[in-house]
Structure 1
Amino acid sequence: MAVDAHGLPDDLPEAARAYAGFQGRIGRTMAGSEPWWPPRPQAGENAPNVVVVLVDDLGYSDVGCFGSEIATPHIDRLADEGVRYTDFHVTPMCSPTRAALLTGRNSHAAGVGYVAHADPGFPGHAMELADDVSTIAEVLRDNGYATLMVGKWHLCKDADATDTGSRRSWPLQRGFDRFYGILDGLTDMFHPHALYRDNTRVTPEEYPEDYYFTDDITDEAIAMLRSAKASDPSRPVFLYFAHGAVHAPLNARAEEIERHRGAYEAGWDRIRAERFRRQRELGVVADGTRLAPRNSETGDDVRPWEELSEDQKQVFARYMEVYAAVVQTVDASLGRLRSALEELGEWDDTVLLFTSDNGASREGEAQGSTQYFDVLRHYHGAGDLDGAFERDRQAIDLIGGPRSLPHYPRGWATASNTPFRLYKINTHAGGHTVPAIVSWPRRLSGVAGGIRRQYVHVTDVFPTILELTGATAAGHRHGVGLKPLAGHGFARSLEDPDAPETHREQYYEMQGHRGYYRDGWEIVTRHVPLTPFGDHEWELYDLRADPTETRDLAARYPELVAGLAARWERAAWENQVFPLNEGSGLQRARRPEREKAFARPVRLVPGTPTLERYRSLMLVYRRSFRVTVDLDFAPGDRGVLFAHGGKSGGYSMSVDGDELTYVHNHSAEMTELALGAVTAGRQRIVLDVTALEGGTHVDVRVLVRGQVRGKADALPMPMGMAMFQGIDVGVDRGSPVSWARFDAEGTFPYTGTLHSVTWTPGDPAPGTGPETLAKLREIGMAFE
C-alpha cells in the first residue's frame, strides 16, 4: 500500500486525512493520541450564586423595613444585613418589568410594552421576548451557571400558552435549565389553573386540601437548589423566584388571616400616616419629604375613611387583613429559601435582590371585590363593582379563603404606595417606585443596614449581575445581533453610599401615560383615555426637592418641559414605543389572523387533559356556541359531563340520581337549571347558547333528544380571564364550577359511557364583529 510522507495511505479521503491530522498529531492508538475535549462553560473563580426574588404588585411601603406595620422579619433581616435602595424604579406593569429585568433592555425594545394578554401586531407590543435581546439566564448559562426559575413567567403570548403553541418565549427557550410555575399572569393560589414543569403542562386531578401556590413554588425552588448543588457543588446557581403573590386574587389560609384581625379598623388614612412616620424614622424617605395628598383624580380618587359607612369599613378592613396575610406568606417563603441556602453552605456566597414588579394595584376600584374577575368584567364594560358590595358584605368571612378571589379597594393601594401618588399602570411615582434590597454577606457585611439613594432602574440589574459575577455577554444570539443594553451597572454603590448615579435618564410609558426622568427632573402625564395626546398633559417635578410629586413646576419652566418632552419622543422612537394606546380598546381587540384556528370546533373525549384556557375561551368568548354531549346512558350513571371554568365563573352539566342539571356561575352567583330525568340509551344533549348584544350576556337553552328541557335568559357571560380554567370532559378538575357539588362529590368523575363532548362556535355577538374593530380604529385615529 502506497503511503505519503506522513505515513497515511495515498488514497485516504480528504475528510479522513484532515481528521488524521487533528491538532497536528497522527495517532494510531489511544495511547499515542493527544485527547481533546470541546470547551464547556465555566463560571469565573469565586463567582457567587445569584437569586432574584420578584414580588407581584407589592407596594413601596408594604414591608417592615420600608415602613409597614406588617411583620416581615425575614425581609427586614435581609435589609439589616444588606442595603436598601430607596429610589429604585421598574415599569408600571408586571410583564414589561419582567422583560426589562431579564434582558437589561427597555421593555418595548424587548418586545413587551404591555401586559402579555394582547397581541396588536407591533414590535414593541409583541408580548413575547424579541429574538435580538438576550436574557440574563442565557448569559449566565453560557458562563457556566445552572439557571433555575419558579413562579410566574408572563412573557409569552397567551395564545402560545398551549400544548401546541410556540415555545420560543417560554422559560427553557430563554435560558433556564429548569422551570416550575405558571405561564399566565395570575392564578388561584389554592387551585392553580395550569401549572408547568419545564416545557410540559401539569394537570392534577385535584389539589390537596392544604395546597397553596407560594408554598409549592418554594418547595420546588429548594429542591432545585439542593439538586443542583448535589450534582456539581462547584457550579454557581442563578435562581429567578417570581412570586404570584401579592397579585390578586388575594388568597391566604384562615389562620394567617386571623393574625391580622382588627389591625385595619383605623382605615387607610391612618395606616398611611403611620407608615410615613415610620419611613422618616427609618430614613427610607429623606428629611423634608412631603406625604403626597390622598389621590383625588377622577377615577383614581379615594374617599376619606371617615366618610365610609360602618358596613364599608368592616368589609374594606377585611380585605387589608387578607392582603397583610399574603405579604407574610412572601416573607415566610424568603425565610425558607434562606434556610435552605444556609443549610447548603451557600448563603454567604449568594447575591440576592428582593424587589417588586410595579406599584400597588388599584384594580379593585373604589369598592374592592370578593371575586377578582368582577374587576375584569368591569374593565370590559360589562359590570358594576358597586353593585356587588352587598354580596361581598354577606360573604365577609369567606374573603381570602378558597371560595373567594378577592382584590382590595384602591384606598389600600394608596396606603401601600406611601408616600407616593397614584398606582400600578400610572407613570407617576406610585406606579413604578418599589422597595429593593440587595444582600451579599461575603461582600456587604461592612456596610450592612445601609441605605442607598441613587436612582436605579430595573434595566440596571442585568449589567450589575454581569459586574458581580464576572460573566461576559455575547453580542449575538442564535446568529442574530443584539440590541445594546439600556441599563447601567450600580455595583459600586453597593459598598459606597456616595457613588455617583450611573442611570441618568429614563423614559416611561404605559397605556398612554408617559414620563421622562433626567438628572433629578421629571416630566409625567396622567393620560385620560380618548383625549388628545400633547404637551398640555406634562407635569414637571424637581424630584431632588419633591420626590413625591406634590409641586408641579411646568408653568414655571416651560423650556425645560419642552426639552424633556423632546427627549421622551426620541426615546420612544428608539425603543419602538409607538403606537400609543389611546384607550379605544383596540390594543386588546386586535388579534392575529392565525388565532382564528382557536375558534374551530373541537371534539373532546373522556381522559383528555384539561383543555388550555385560551383555546377554551376562544370557543365561547363573546359569541354564540353549542355544546353537544354524545351519551350512552344507563340508570345509575352519574357524574360531571363537562365543566368549563371554575369558582370565579363558568358553566357545567352533570347527572345525579338520573337527573340532569346545568349550572351557570357568574362570580359565584349561581343559576341552576333542573332538566329532568335522563332516560336509558344513546342520545344527544345540547347546550345552545345565544350571545346577546355586546357579548356580555347570553340566553341558554338545553335540549335532550331534541326537546327543550330548560332555559334561562340574559345570564351574565363570564368575560375574558373570568373563565380562567379550561374545559374538562367527564370530570371537574381543579377549581370547581359549583362548590355545592364539589363539597358533596369532589371532582365527580362520570361513571357511565360518555362518548364525547363537542364545542361548536357560532357567530360573534351583535356589536362585536369585524365592524367593531373598524369602529375602534376610527375612534383611535381621532387622537393620532
Structure 2
Amino acid sequence: MSDDIKLTRRGVLLGSTAIAATAGLGARPAEAELKEYPPGQAFTGVIGRTFDVSQPAWPAPTRAREGAANVLFIVLDDTGFGQLGCFGSPIHTPNLDALAADGLRYSNMHTTALCSPSRSCFLTGRNHHSNGMACITEGSEGFPGANGQIPFENGFLSEILQENGYNSYALGKWHLTPAEQTSAAGPYNRWPLGRGFERYFGFLGGDTHQYYPELVRDNSQTEPDKTPEEGYHLTPDLVAKARSMIADSKQVAPNKPFFMYFAPGAMHAPHHVPKEWADKYKGQFDDGWDAYREKVFAKQKEIGIIPENTVLSRHDPDVQDWQKLSADERRLFARMMEVFAGFLEHTDHYIGELIAFLKDMGEYENTLIMVVSDNGASAEGGPNGSVNEGKFFNNVPDDLQQNLAAIDDLGGPKYFNHYAFGWTHAGNTPFRRWKRETYRGGVSDPFIIAWPKGIKARGEIRSQYCHGIDMVPTVLDALDLEPPAQIRGVTQSPIQGFSLKSSFDDADAPSLHITQYFEMFGHRSLYHDGWRAVCPWPGTSFTESGLTFGAPISYDKLTELDAKGWELYNLKEDFSETKNLAETERERLIAMIGMWYVEAGKYNVLPIDSRGTARFADERPQIAANRKKYIYYPGTQVVPGSAAPYLVNVAHSISVEANVPNGGAEGVLLSMGGVDGGFSFYVQEGKLVYGYNYVADQRFTVRSDAAIPEGDHIFSFEFTPTGKADIAKGRGVPANIKLFVDGKQVGSGDLPVTIPISLGLAAGVCVGADSGSPTMDTAYTAPYPFTGTVKKALVDVTGEAVEDMAAKMKVYLSRQ
C-alpha cells in the first residue's frame, strides 16, 4: 500500500491528496512525518495562523518496548506440593508437565497458607500483612495488617505493566476486594478494574459453584450463557474468555504485550467435574492415602524434586488408618479422590487449550508464564470429607451416611463436595499438615516458570528459596523494568520480594531471599538462611492438642507458646521438617523467635488472632449507615451477603409486594443462599412456601394453609428464634416461621435447627428469582423466576411482628 493511501475508520480507502483537496486544504508534503512528544511536556509542533503554515504534533501513546514479553500468571487453588504430575503425582497433568519440561520447576516456593493473603503477594510483591490481608477478606479485622484493604501504595503488577504499554486481563477467582465492598454500591476502586486490570471475567469471592458460578464481567454481575444441562462448567468458559481477550487486542495491535492473571476456581471446593473425567481414575486410589504418599514420595526422589536424603513426614494423627476403615468408608473416600483427580486433569486440559492458543498465535515463545498454587492442599473437608464445604464454615460435623448416599453424584451440580483429611495430607507429600497452617504442608507449593525466548534452561529444577512476594520483582527484572516511584500520583512502598531471574540459567545462583516470616490464624513460623522455626497452633495436630481449628490464643497463652511451643528444623538436612532441634539448638531458636517479632513489627503482623471461622461473624464498616429496614428491587444485581442484613440467629421478617395474575403464579419471591445452604421464599402449586436449607444436611418447608389470592398483595414471613444457638456445635437457633398475606397469618411451622454462622460465602439477596445454584434444590430448578410481577421487598430486623405492622408496611413500601 502506498504512503499516500489511508484507511478511514469506516474502512474506505482514500488518497490523502484527494482528502485534502476535497477539504480545500491542499496536500501536505510527502516527506512530512508524524511527530510525537511525551505527554505532559510542551507541544513540539508549530502553530501558525493557518493550517498550511503549521506543523502538528501529537502526545505519544504509551507503548511497550519493542519485543516486550507477555506475562501469564496461572494461579491454582488449594493444590498441594504432591498433586501435579511434574511434582511426582500420579494425577495426569500433561499440559502443566509440558510447561515444566519447557522451563523450570522450583522446589522451594512458599506462600502464606491461605488464598487471599497469597494472591495479594503474587500481585503486589509485598507481604500479606503489609497488604492488610492477614486472612481472607471475609475474616478482616480493624487493624492495619488485617483490614482487607490492600493499600494503593502497594501497586499491583497490572497497574505497573499497564503504565508500560501492556493490556491487562484478570479471569477467575479474585478474592482481593473487601467482602463488604463487593456489592453494586461499591466502591469499585479495589475491584479488578480499579487495580489496573482493563478487563475482568470471573467471581469476586473465595469460591463458587462451578456449574452455577456467581459471575462478574468487568464491574457488573452477569450470568453463564449455558446451563449445567447444556454442558456449562466454569473452567472452559474462563479459557474461552481468556482467548477472546487476547485475540481482541492482538488482531488490532499485534505488537502490544499483555499481562493475564488466570485464576480458575480449581482446585478449591466444590470439586466439580463431569463424571467421565472422574471415571478415568476408577480404582486408582483404592489402596488409600498412605499408599499414595509412598508412591509420590518415591517418584519425587526419582525425578529430583526433593533431596535424596528427605524423610517422609509421619502419618498425621488426625488422619484415619486406611486399613482400619470399613469397606464403605474406603469406597467413599476413594471416589472423593477420583473426583478431585478428574477435576485437576480437566483443569489441566483447559489450561492446555490456552497454551495451545498462544502457540497458534505465535505468542508462546515470548510469554513469561508462572504457575503457582495459593496454598497447600485443603483440609476443609474434615476427617470424613464433605458433600457441602459450607459445613466447615459453620462448625457442622459431616455425616458419613449422608456422604455415602451422595457417592454417585459427587462432582455434579447437586453437591458442594470436598475430600477427606487423608487426601489433604497425601496431597502435600512429603510435608506435614496443610492449608491454614504454616508447617511446610501449608506453605510449600508447586511453582513453574516457562519462557522459551528468555530462559535457555529446559526441564531443570531450581532449589533457591522463594516466596509469593518474589513473583512481581522477578517479572520486572525479566522485563527490565524499574518499580515505579508513583502510580496514579500515589507514592509507592518498597517491593519486599526478591528477583529470581539470576536462577533462570544458573542452577547454582545464590538464594537472595534469606528471611521470611509466616503467620496464619496464630500458626507462626520463620525461615532464615536454611532454618525454620515453627510455633504450631492449636498444636502439632488436633488429636494431640485436644483443640480444634479456631481455638483462641490469649495474651498469657502466647507468652507460654513463646517459651515452650516453638520447634526448629534444619532444612539443609531435613527438607520435610521431621527432626525437631529445639532442644539442641536452643540459642539459635531463641534468636529466631526474636527475629520473628522483628519481622512482625516490620510488616504489621500483630495482633495475633487465631479465632478461625468466628472472625467471619464480626461486624465490619458498611457503605450505608446501619439500619433496621432494607428495601430491595427485582431486576437488580444480587446483593452479596457481606453487604446484606445479617439474618443468622436473629428475629426478622421479609415482605414482598407482588402481583399475582389471573390463573395464579409460581416462582421465587426472594432468596438468599444456594445449594450449600440458605432460605427461599417462593410460591408453588398456588401456595406460599418458606424453604430452609440447613447446610445441605436437612431441608425444611413451611406452606400456607390455602392458595394465595390473585391481584396485588404483600406476602410475608416472620422468623422468630425459639431457643439458643450452639455455634461451637454447628447449630443455629431453632425458630418458628409464620406466613402472611397482607398481614394475616396463613400458615406456620418450626425449624428445629438453622445455620449458625454463614449462609454461604456466595449467599446474597436475590429478588424475584433464585440466582446461581438452587437454594431449595429438592423443590425446583434455578433460577425459578416468579411468573407474576414482583415490585419490591422489605427486609425488617426490628423484631416487630408482621401482624402488628401490616398497615405500616404498606405505607413504608409505597414510599420507597
Output the TM-score relative to the length of structure 1: 0.89
Q: 2:364 aligns with which of 347, 360, 370?
A: 347
Structure 1's 441 and 277: CA in aligned 2 closer, same or farther, altered over 3 A?
Answer: same
2:383 is aligned with 1:363: no
Aligned length: 731
Unpaired runs of 5+ in structure 1?
1-18, 765-784
Q: Is the 8 A contact 2:211 2:232 kept in 1?
A: yes
* 1:104-161 residue CA offsets vs partner (Å, 9 max, x unmatched): 1111112212111123211111212112111111111111111111011111111000
- Give 1:169 deviation, angstroms: 1.3
2:169 is aligned with 1:139: no
SS in 2 for 1:688: strand
Q: Distance in 2 between matches of 1:675 and 1:590?
A: 35
* 1:304-338 residue CA offsets vs partner (Å, 9 max, x unmatched): 11121222111111111111111112211210011
2:129 is aligned with 1:116: no
Q: 1:749 aligns with which of 785, 796, 804?
A: 785
2:704 is aligned with 1:675: yes
Q: 2:490 aligns with which of 480, 485, 489?
A: 480
* 1:355-386 residue CA offsets vs partner (Å, 9 max, x unmatched): 101101111111111011111111xxxx222x
- Give 1:81 deviation, angstroms: 1.3
Superposition pairs for residues 245-394 of structure 1, below 5 Å? 245-296=266-317, 301-378=318-395, 383-385=396-398, 388-394=399-405
2:593 is aligned with 1:565: yes
Q: Distance in 1 between matches of 2:161 and 2:181?
A: 26
- Give 1:199 deviation, angstroms: 1.6
Task: Report percent identity of matched pairs.
Answer: 34
Q: 1:502 aligns with which of 512, 517, 540?
A: 512
Q: Is the 8 A contact 2:307 2:575 kept in 1?
A: no
Q: Distance in 2 between matches of 1:22 and 1:395?
A: 71
Structure 1's 729 and 110: CA in aligned 2 closer, same or farther, altered over 3 A?
Answer: closer
Structure 1's 25 and 330: CA in aligned 2 closer, same or farther, altered over 3 A?
Answer: same
Q: 1:636 aligns with which of 640, 663, 678?
A: 663
Structure 1's 67 and 661: CA in aligned 2 closer, same or farther, altered over 3 A?
Answer: same
- Give 1:38 deviation, angstroms: 2.2
- Tell me which moved more, 462-471 or 202-211: 202-211
Q: 2:650 aligns with which of 620, 623, 628?
A: 623
Q: 2:795 aligns with which of 736, 759, 762?
A: 759
Q: 2:572 aligns with which of 540, 544, 548?
A: 544
Structure 1's 721 and 687: CA in aligned 2 closer, same or farther, altered over 3 A?
Answer: closer
**Amino acid of the residue matched to residue 674 of structure 1?**
R
Residue 440 of structure 2 is matched in structure 1 by: 429
SS in 2 for 1:602: strand
Structure 1's 409 and 235: CA in aligned 2 closer, same or farther, altered over 3 A?
Answer: same
Q: Is the 8 A contact 2:45 2:56 kept in 1?
A: no
**Amino acid of the residue matched to residue 345 of structure 2?**
Q
SS in 2 for 1:240: strand
Residue 411 of structure 2 is matched in structure 1 by: 400
- Tell me which moved more, 472-481 or 318-327: 472-481
Output the TM-score relative to the length of structure 2: 0.86
2:148 is aligned with 1:127: yes
Q: Is the 8 A contact 1:619 1:759 kept in 2?
A: no
Q: Distance in 2 between matches of 1:131 and 1:175?
A: 11
Q: Distance in 2 between matches of 1:204 and 1:598?
A: 34
Residue 699 of structure 1 is matched in structure 2 by: 735
Structure 1's 593 and 753: CA in aligned 2 closer, same or farther, altered over 3 A?
Answer: closer
Structure 1's 504 and 659: CA in aligned 2 closer, same or farther, altered over 3 A?
Answer: same
Superposition pairs for residues 425-464 of structure 1, below 5 Å? 425-444=436-455, 446-464=456-474
Residue 175 of structure 2 is matched in structure 1 by: 154
- Give 1:261 deviation, angstroms: 1.6
2:559 is aligned with 1:523: no
Q: Is the 8 A contact 2:524 2:536 kept in 1?
A: yes
- Give 1:434 deviation, angstroms: 0.5
SS in 1 for 2:394: helix
* 1:514-533 residue CA offsets vs partner (Å, 9 max, x unmatched): 11111101111102233412
- Give 1:341 deviation, angstroms: 0.3
Structure 1's 103 and 632: CA in aligned 2 closer, same or farther, altered over 3 A?
Answer: closer
- Tell me which moved more, 469-478 or 67-76: 469-478
Q: Is the 8 A contact 1:628 1:758 kept in 2?
A: yes
Q: Is the 8 A contact 2:394 2:757 kept in 1?
A: yes
- Give 1:26 deviation, angstroms: 5.5
Superposition pairs for residues 199-278 of structure 1, below 5 Å? 199-203=219-223, 207=227, 209=229, 210-278=231-299
CA-based RMSD of the aligned residues comes to: 2.3
2:680 is aligned with 1:649: no
Q: Is the 8 A contact 1:535 1:565 kept in 2?
A: no
Q: Is the 8 A contact 1:598 1:615 kept in 2?
A: no
Q: Is the 8 A contact 1:424 1:432 kept in 2?
A: yes
- Give 1:205 deviation, angstroms: 9.2
Q: Distance in 1 between matches of 2:724 and 2:761?
A: 20
Q: Is the 8 A contact 1:160 1:166 kept in 2?
A: yes
Structure 1's 229 and 515: CA in aligned 2 closer, same or farther, altered over 3 A?
Answer: same
Unpaired runs of 5+ in structure 2?
1-39, 539-550, 801-816
Residue 469 of structure 1 is matched in structure 2 by: 479
Q: Distance in 2 between matches of 1:725 and 1:64?
A: 35
Residue 13 of structure 1 is matched in structure 2 by: none
- Tell me which moved more, 409-418 or 322-331: 322-331
Q: Distance in 2 between matches of 1:167 and 1:346?
A: 32
Q: Is the 8 A contact 2:628 2:798 kept in 1?
A: no
- Tell me which moved more, 255-264 or 633-642: 633-642
* 1:505-560 residue CA offsets vs partner (Å, 9 max, x unmatched): 11111111111111101111102233412232211100010010000001111111
Q: Is the 8 A contact 2:700 2:751 kept in 1?
A: no
Q: Distance in 2 between matches of 1:747 and 1:409?
A: 31
Q: Is the 8 A contact 1:96 1:114 kept in 2?
A: yes
- Tell me which moved more, 21-30 or 571-580: 21-30
SS in 1 for 2:426: helix
Q: Distance in 2 between matches of 1:712 and 1:206?
A: 37
Q: Is the 8 A contact 2:169 2:260 kept in 1?
A: yes
- Tell me which moved more, 650-659 or 411-420: 650-659
Residue 580 of structure 1 is matched in structure 2 by: 608
- Give 1:670 deviation, angstroms: 1.8
Structure 1's 208 and 414: CA in aligned 2 closer, same or farther, altered over 3 A?
Answer: closer
Q: Distance in 1 between matches of 2:684 and 2:665?
A: 5
SS in 2 for 1:466: helix
**Amino acid of the residue matched to residue 200 of structure 1?**
S
- Give 1:671 deviation, angstroms: 1.4
- Give 1:681 deviation, angstroms: 4.8
Q: Distance in 2 between matches of 1:599 and 1:715?
A: 27
* 1:24-63 residue CA offsets vs partner (Å, 9 max, x unmatched): 9563333433433223322223211111101011010111
- Give 1:587 deviation, angstroms: 4.2
**Amino acid of the residue matched to residue 38 of structure 1?**
P
